[in-house]
Amino acid sequence: MSGITDLDRLLAEMEPQLREGTFVFCTVPPEQAEPLLHLKPVGTFREAEGLTLILPEEAAAENGMERSAPMRMITLAVHSSLEAVGLTATVAGALTRAGISANVVAAYHHDHIFVPAADADRALQTLKAVSRNGCGA
């Protein structure tokens, strides 16, 4: 299955779900990354400056890692195509209008939005309104 590309359908079916736990973004030099993979990051991304790891907050704290502010993860539980146009922009726009920062990570099956922990419930409600109301939310 290649995922949904129709924006109206994606919005109607996105079912935002607030995941358990708090996450942080950390970065390490590439040569230090391998031993840290046991921390079970929910995401990684290699940049010229190093490897970004999205980790459970407690794992980063226990390992003394420099980290971002605590974030919560909201998963859009619709199988969005990587070629879909407008989902990220619509979601980010709605959160922007609500004054909530958003770090969007697209994976093969779903999009995941990391928001400041303090704003998680408000972000979830904002995204549910987008799902109910479509692009004009």
CATH number at residue 78: 3.30.2130.10
In this structure, the answer to whether residues 92 and 135 fall within a common structural domain is yes
Mean pLDDT of 112-118: 98
pLDDT tens digit sequence for 44-93: 999 999 999 999 999 999 999 999 999 999 999 999 999 999 999 999 99
Residue 37 has pLDDT above 90, yes or no: no
- Which residues, including other chains, have CB under 8 Å from residue 4's CB and lie 6 or more apart? 10, 13, 78, 79, 80, 81, 84
pLDDT tens digit sequence for 13-30: 999 999 999 999 999 998
pLDDT of residue 42: 94
Q: Are 111 and 76 in contact (CB under 8 A)?
A: yes
Residue 109 has pLDDT above 60, yes or no: yes
Residue 136 has pLDDT above 60, yes or no: no
Single out the residue in 36, 69, 102 at which a domain terminates. Answer: 69
pLDDT of residue 1: 60
Q: Are 78 and 10 in contact (CB under 8 A)?
A: yes
Q: Are 78 and 94 in contact (CB under 8 A)?
A: no
In this structure, the answer to whether residues 12 and 75 fall within a common structural domain is yes
pLDDT of residue 133: 86
- Grade residue 40 by pLDDT with cuts at 50, 70 and 90: confident
The structural domain count of the chain equals 2
pLDDT of residue 135: 62
Single out the residue in 54, 69, 84 at which a domain terminates. Answer: 69
In this structure, the answer to whether residues 90 and 135 fall within a common structural domain is yes
In this structure, the answer to whether residues 94 and 128 fall within a common structural domain is yes
Token pair 């999009």 is found at 111
- Grade residue 100 by pLDDT with cuts at 50, 70 and 90: very high
Rg (CA), the chain: 16
In this structure, the answer to whether residues 17 and 29 fall within a common structural domain is no
In this structure, the answer to whether residues 112 and 135 fall within a common structural domain is yes
In this structure, the answer to whether residues 94 and 59 fall within a common structural domain is no
In this structure, the answer to whether residues 7 and 32 fall within a common structural domain is no
In this structure, the answer to whether residues 131 and 77 fall within a common structural domain is yes
Q: Which domain holds residue 49?
A: 23-69
* pTM passes above 0.75: yes
In this structure, the answer to whether residues 75 and 16 fall within a common structural domain is yes
In this structure, the answer to whether residues 52 and 91 fall within a common structural domain is no
In this structure, the answer to whether residues 33 and 81 fall within a common structural domain is no
